[in-house]
Amino acid sequence: MTVTVQDIASAVGDYIATSVVTTVSDVVVSGSGVVTPGDTASFSVEVTNAAAPQGVPLIDVRFHLSLEDNVEDQDVAKLLVPASPPSRLTTNENDPTLVPGQRVAALVLYPADDTLDIGASLTVDGLEIDALALGRVLVTCHVHAAVPQSYLFPPGARNEDGSVKFTVE
């Protein structure tokens, strides 16, 4: 069977899309439980990797969060950039980090522990949203990640022996 490098890249993308589960907790406010304009609400996100035997380890895990609302020309809510982990607007680690406390519609979190072993979970707690106006808000999160090259191309792999028979006379 011939496998191309593009096949491997596609398989990694398919694995992350179908075998890695991202969960966003309920958005809550201390006390009342009802989010109203002017409130700062909190939530967490968790990513869980598939268990063995289907699971593969992941590295460079990034949480990509965004908000969508049902009101045009007005923001119902904004994400507050956390002090930790560092965040950026994109998945490019060379882009500048965002300022903690800044309000944004989307961000990418760069956790210090950015690996996810087979069957393991990674959680970021204490994320916050500022409620700005009346309306419905959808919080979404997915992850960007990679599979270690050594897992895809294990060291010490070998090919079949080449051989020749000869007769000594």
Question: Which is higher by pLDDT, 166 or 146?
Answer: 146
- Tokens for 125, please give them: 């707690």
Do the Cβ atoms of 35 and 131 come closer than 8 Å?
yes
**Is the residue at 157 inside a domain?**
no
Do the Cβ atoms of 153 and 64 come closer than 8 Å?
no
- Tokens for 145, please give them: 């990640």
Which single residue is written with the structure tokens 């979190």?
109
According to DSSP, the β-strands at 59-69 and 106-109 are antiparallel
**Is the residue at 77 inside a domain?**
yes
CATH number assigned to the domain comprising residue 147: 2.60.40
> Mean pLDDT across the stretch 132-146?
94
* Structural domain containing residue 59: 5-152
pTM of the model: 0.86
pLDDT digits (tens, 9 = 90+) for 47-81: 999 999 999 999 999 999 999 988 877 789 999 99
pLDDT, residue 153, reads 76
The tally of domains found in the chain comes to 1
Do the Cβ atoms of 75 and 130 come closer than 8 Å?
no
